[in-house]
Amino acid sequence: MLVFNCTKAAAEFFSVTRKGEVLSCLEAAPIKTMAESVAAPVFPLDVEPQEHDGTQWHWVVHCVTVKRKKYLLVMDYVSRYCLIFLATKKGDEIDFLNMFEKMMVSNFMFLANKKGVDSVEADLALARYHDKFITCAFHPRGDRSVQGHLNEVAWHLEQQCYEDGMLVMPNEFIDFSVFMGKFPRNAKGRSSHFFANDVFIDSWLHDLDIEDGPVDTTNLVYLSDYRK
């Protein structure tokens, strides 16, 4: 299950007012902190945990405005890898999810190719992802440590836009995410500094373990199709 924890700015982005009524996909988080949710996942009543191997993948969503353009920063809670893309339609979580998944898969493919990951292993990791993460939840919830890293990304994004031009193309967003993933980071509970690029790709290859059991390959995405 994908869990999107939204900062105040992101919560406003996901909210729209129609006929005087505020509409939003956000629901109160079942647990106060993300750390507690990662340690002991709590699923909505209408979600069967066994269908998701009891797994939740937590992301933090933030929204910033640079030169009148809105950008969404979506950071993986564990690896601190940050996906960046232009804001989708306000209040439309489906549009957001489509763009999020497109960018996440593209970033994974880029890093896997750069690291020399065997294409079969990468394809199976993608299939495992599609097999395990079939639902999601949006919560108004932040994390001080992640916010600090998001602020750093936002600062570099602003510098990039003002000094070298706005980011608008998919390959530009991937390059920027990989650039930000090269900065050494630290976080509570970590014994040493780490690099987001390394932890993100390792999460795909190890947390989405291809030895978990049979994989539903009906949604298999072949990396070779994207490298032509």
pLDDT of residue 53: 67
Q: Across the chain, what does the average pLDDT equal?
A: 88
pTM, full prediction: 0.89
Q: How far apart are CA 100 and CA 82, in angstroms?
A: 11
Q: What is the pLDDT of residue 34?
A: 94
Instruction: Please say whether the beta carbons of 59 and 169 come within 8 A.
Output: no
* Least trusted range by pLDDT, from 95-104, 160-169, 213-222: 213-222
Q: State the pLDDT at residue 43.
A: 87
Q: What is the DSSP string of the chain?
A: -EEEEE-HHHHHHTEEEETTEEEES----SSS-HHHHHHS----TTS-GGGGTT--EEEEEEEEEETTEEEEEEEETTT--EEEEE--STT-HHHHHHHHHHHHHHHHHHHHHHHT--HHHHHHHHHHHHHH---EEEEE---HHHHHHHHHHHHHHHHHHHHH----SHHHHHHHHHHHTTSEE--TT-SS-EEHHHHHHHIIIIIT-TTSS---GGG---HHHH--
Is residue 225 over pLDDT 70? Answer: no
| pLDDT tens-digit map of 63-107 | 999 999 999 999 999 999 999 999 999 999 999 999 999 999 999
- The residue among 218 and 75 whose pLDDT is bigger is 75
Q: Report the pLDDT value the prediction gives residue 90, as an integer from 0 to 100.
A: 95
What are 178-209's pLDDT values in tens digits?
999 999 998 887 778 999 999 999 989 887 66
Q: Give residue 219's pLDDT.
A: 41
Is the pLDDT higher at 194 or at 210?
194
137 confidence band (pLDDT: 50, 70, 90):
very high
- The pLDDT assigned to 77 comes to 96
Q: What is the pLDDT of residues 41-68, one digit of tens each?
A: 988 877 777 666 678 999 999 999 999 9
What whole-number distance in Å separates Cα of residue 137 and Cα of residue 189?
A: 25
- Rounded Cα distance between 112 and 213, Å, is 22
